[in-house]
Structure 1
Amino acid sequence: MLRQILKNFGSNKVFTLNSIGDHIKSADYSIRGEVLKKAQEIGQELCRSQIYPFKSLAACNMGNPQYLGQKPLTWVRQGLSLVVNPELLDYPGLISQYPSDIIDRSKYLLNCIQGGIGAYSDSAGYHVVRESIAKYIEQRDSVGPSNPNDIFTTNGASPSIEITLTAIIDSLNDGIMLPIPQYSLYTALITLNKGKSVGYYMNSNNGFWSMSIEEMQKALSRARNDGVNVKAVVVINPGNPTGQVLDEENMKDVVRFCEDNRLVLLADEVYQDNIYMPDKKFTSFRKVVIQMNSDLELFSFHSLSKGFYGECGIRGGYMELINIDKQAKDEIFKLGSLMICSSTFGQIGMELVLNPPSPSQPSYQTFIQEKTEILSNLKKNAELMHALFNTMDNITCNYIEGAMYAMPCVRVSKKAIQAAKNANLPVDKFYVMKALEETGIILAPFGYGQDPRTFHFRITIMSPEESFEDLLLSFKVFNDNFHKQYKDST
């Protein structure tokens, strides 16, 4: 009887949109949202020979290097192939196909892994991998040892960030400070955990993005005056999507800000190999904290997906916990352990990129050549993108000092704002939707304006070098036509 009554009302489904929590429906991950769905529809239509002004799509919305043509590192793929298929090590002709150093490394790793990579690892990851990560951190920072027991491997950096935010956010009133503009993963995860995002504006002066302690303090004071229990601050360095590279003095100011205001620091450092300006270098927050003899509580995140490695689909990453209370660390690790362990394939990939061949080994020249070529192409693309964007109508683009993206600023007319309103779209999403439909270029909308009538989008600098300029020039034609079409009448 009840089933028939429900059927008469049109549905007897238990799990519906109305039954899903508002915190889930409100979470927005802009780089994989409506724009990407529209792009997928267009892609299917192109396959059915539907006519568009372009022949193919250009996925510039996210950092996915190998999808955009970057070749995998020989050292990593050779090592993974041997570890995943150990029978190859018994093949008599292997030495003629693989250098001796990667054969030796694979044998060493397999000797340290009981059951092979098809078995679960420890929840925190293979000890041999965490030892290798710790060795890399020590060599990178030169400020003392890193403890493998403070390292937890995850499927890329995103799960590390999710675990940390889940542990930190305890109530509806807990707040996390985020840079604006920022990578939308953070706002989405904070929303899912029913916390509050507390945005602090990045400075955009003289063609550069930078952090302002004054802006951070203003944002913190406003939030606390509103009763928000602000517990942590996120810093992305090099910046996503802004591309800034912080200097050590600025980082020291951030550390002091966190100390003075009793805030935990979450350092997203996944782009630490992506530095393009000669006067810039990456410095980890771990190094700064140790040099300052600070007891600041710090979480640092790194990933196999970025840098010059670009192994996004293999899913490798880790977090290092510095100055974290032991009991609190145990709870963090317990939370991570709910997923049993991270991808063992990703763990081995992480070990191989962070512990590459030494100059005396036979794989070294190929490794260095591939690394140099990848980073050199990214640097050229960063310089070209900055130069071309600044020739376009109503667009300004800051220098791309590091990471893999530009964050151009677009100033739009009242007429364009009204057209977006009529289309029931935010202005930034309206703009990138138009760009998609007319050029095939997929962009990520970021509606975080630095002043009224100012909007942004994120675009990756990754693309095959021979076609990158053509891609940007086609975007220039779109942009110039857009502003002509939506020019305000005088």
Structure 2
Amino acid sequence: MFSYLLQRFYMRKVLTLDSIGENVKKAEYAVRGDILKKAHEIVENIAKGEKYPFKTLTACNIGNPQFLGQKPLTWVRQGLSLVINPKLLDNPELSSYYPPDIIDRSKYLLSRIQGGVGAYSDSQGLLVVRESVAKYIETRDNVGPSDPADIFTTNGASPSIDIALTIAISSSQDGVMIPIPQYPLYNALITIKRGHPIGYYMDSSDGYWSLSIDEMQRSVDLAKKKNIKPRALVVINPGNPTGQVLSEENMRQIVEFCEINNLVILADEVYQDNVYIPSKKFTSFRKIIRQMGTKTELFSFQSLSKGFYGECGIRGGYMEILNIDNQVKSQILKLASIMLCSSTLGQVGIELVLNPPLEKMPSFEKYDIEKNEILSALKRKALLMYELLNTMDNITCNYVEGAMYAMPCVTMSQKAIDEARKIGVTADKFYVMKALEETGIILVPGSGFGQKPGTFHFRITVLTPESSLRELLLSFKNFNNNFHKQYRD
């Protein structure tokens, strides 16, 4: 008994920072990194009565539309409320509050959901939802049918991306090409899976972010010299954090590049409804591949969190696969099955967004007004951000063609770089931390996304309410200009 008590007294923890996997420690996710931790400290300090030059923080670090005041679509919320509380459908006064089309849709969905939304669905997702997704894809692309059997619903796009990378990375010598700057999820997941992120730099020299085939080939060739085997190419279109919208010609070049180099395409298309300039339009990689008649393998991703819907917390999304071997498809289904199923509410949300009310239906006018108001405001805010950022000292901002972010370049003095080095951080992180402490604006340093050596950037969302965006940007301009005066060489 004594020896047992002694053993308990000296018992060491099994899990320590030294004993957990190295790849977990290497993985980073800058969007919710050190800057956000500092922001939480400031919130706590303000609650304790400490004084700052601002009253509240403004979260410009993450694409979280409703957190920043965007209103949910009435059509979606009405449908969700009815499927989660079916007793409402028995209320004789329901038609006084809900239009008949959403009542009918909810009844139809419930008739196809065995056990209601509180029951597990098939691991691949509710068939009624996958049928609506397939119909949407067919209409969007107009290049032939989409098969519900090739669609997997997930809790947002992130689990889909996780599955695709798990399938693509088969050994520690495998690499996945990612754009630089890139969405940090990719680098983190590839690292955790013991793969190699193979960065290809995006070009920003002409005022627009773009993808260069020559740069992508340089990246592949360099990886092979390091005995890394490129297996897949990630393309984010519209871009996060860079906001570019690819042309169809550029997309065809990318598909040809993947044919030549035997690469699977992972097409992150969660911002497909966020295109702000008339000269550009979203085209899916599925459409391009079908038009070209190629057998290039494709995973494509969509989410309920972005677009004009912005239902981040409900966690809905899907993945469509194309030209994937049937035996591999079985393994994908196995991975989905391990997690049982995605949120049924998220699945219903996807169905309601992709199968909206049609013209002349009772809910159409309100839905159309809400949709256009959200997209028009995003377009105006993207333009305002582009214009005002380019009036600031030492800042150059490319045009925000789509998505929800600007990624400005900041020219740093050697004095600022040296000051950052003294405290063990990069110059862009130093700059973003100073901005947080002096303005309350939460940004993400460009080093968290990757950037060309010798350059410095930050990412800022265009989601701040229109009523306060100009004031916020002018406050930031004042900080920026003072920063560069203070650290002038």
| TM-score grouping bracket, smaller chain normalisation | over 0.9
Aligned mates of 2:96, 2:356 — CA distance in 1 = 21
Contact 1:3 1:12 in 2 (8 A): no
Show the 5 A alignment for 1:76-91: 76-91=76-91
Aligned mates of 2:117, 2:202 — CA distance in 1 = 43
Which runs of no fewer than 5 residues in structure 2 stay unpaired?
none
Instruction: Say whether residues 1:474 and 2:475 are aligned partners.
Output: yes
Contact 2:175 2:198 in 1 (8 A): yes
Aligned mates of 2:450, 2:298 — CA distance in 1 = 29
Show the 5 A alignment for 1:310-459: 310-447=310-447, 451-459=452-460
Aligned-pair CA distance for 1:332: 1.1
The 3 A distance-change label for structure 1 pair 449 and 169 is: closer
Aligned-pair CA distance for 1:232: 0.3
> What whole-Å deviation, never above 9, does each CA across 1:187-231 have from its counterpart, x for those lacking one?
000011011000001111221001100000000001011110110
The 3 A distance-change label for structure 1 pair 6 and 91 is: closer
Superposition TM-score, scaled by structure 1 size? 0.97
Contact 2:182 2:450 in 1 (8 A): no
Aligned mates of 2:445, 2:27 — CA distance in 1 = 15
What amino acid is the match of 1:465? E
Of all paired residues, the percent bearing the same amino acid is 65
> Which position in structure 2 is the counterpart of 1:239?
239
Instruction: Say whether residues 1:22 and 2:29 are aligned partners.
Output: no
What amino acid is the match of 1:111? S
Aligned-pair CA distance for 1:394: 0.9
Aligned mates of 2:7, 2:96 — CA distance in 1 = 73
Aligned mates of 1:358, 1:63 — CA distance in 2 = 28
What amino acid is the match of 1:40? H
Aligned mates of 2:428, 2:84 — CA distance in 1 = 45
> What whole-Å deviation, never above 9, does each CA across 1:32-82 have from its counterpart, x for those lacking one?
011111111111112222100000000000100000000000000000000
> Which position in structure 2 is the counterpart of 1:285?
285
Aligned mates of 1:249, 1:239 — CA distance in 2 = 17
SS at match of 1:175: strand
Aligned mates of 1:333, 1:60 — CA distance in 2 = 37
> Which position in structure 2 is the counterpart of 1:208?
208
| Poorly superposed stretches of 4+, deviation over 4 Å | 1-8, 448-452
> Which position in structure 1 is the counterpart of 2:152?
152
Aligned-pair CA distance for 1:3: 6.9
> What whole-Å deviation, never above 9, does each CA across 1:8-46 have from its counterpart, x for those lacking one?
6xx721111111111001101000011111111111112
Contact 1:72 1:310 in 2 (8 A): yes
Aligned-pair CA distance for 1:2: 8.1
The 3 A distance-change label for structure 1 pair 6 and 445 is: farther
Contact 1:23 1:194 in 2 (8 A): yes
What amino acid is the match of 1:414? Q
Aligned-pair CA distance for 1:336: 1.5
> Which position in structure 1 is the counterpart of 2:221?
221
What amino acid is the match of 2:480? N
Aligned mates of 2:36, 2:161 — CA distance in 1 = 23
What amino acid is the match of 2:117? I
Aligned mates of 1:95, 1:33 — CA distance in 2 = 47
Aligned mates of 1:133, 1:423 — CA distance in 2 = 50
> Which position in structure 1 is the counterpart of 2:48?
48
> Which position in structure 2 is the counterpart of 1:176?
176
Aligned mates of 2:368, 2:107 — CA distance in 1 = 23
Aligned mates of 1:208, 1:353 — CA distance in 2 = 30
> What whole-Å deviation, never above 9, does each CA across 1:325-360 have from its counterpart, x for those lacking one?
000011011111111000001000000000000002
What amino acid is the match of 1:456? H
> Which position in structure 2 is the counterpart of 1:143?
143
Would you say how many aligned residue pairs link Structure 1 and Structure 2? 486
Aligned mates of 1:154, 1:449 — CA distance in 2 = 27
What amino acid is the match of 1:330? S
What amino acid is the match of 1:61? N
> Which position in structure 1 is the counterpart of 2:464?
463
CA RMSD of aligned residues (A): 1.2
Aligned mates of 2:217, 2:4 — CA distance in 1 = 58
Contact 2:169 2:193 in 1 (8 A): yes
What amino acid is the match of 1:221? D
Contact 2:316 2:350 in 1 (8 A): yes
The 3 A distance-change label for structure 1 pair 486 and 323 is: same
Aligned-pair CA distance for 1:167: 1.5
Contact 1:30 1:446 in 2 (8 A): no
The 3 A distance-change label for structure 1 pair 451 and 171 is: closer
Contact 1:444 1:458 in 2 (8 A): yes
Superposition TM-score, scaled by structure 2 size? 0.98
Aligned-pair CA distance for 1:297: 0.2
SS at match of 1:308: coil
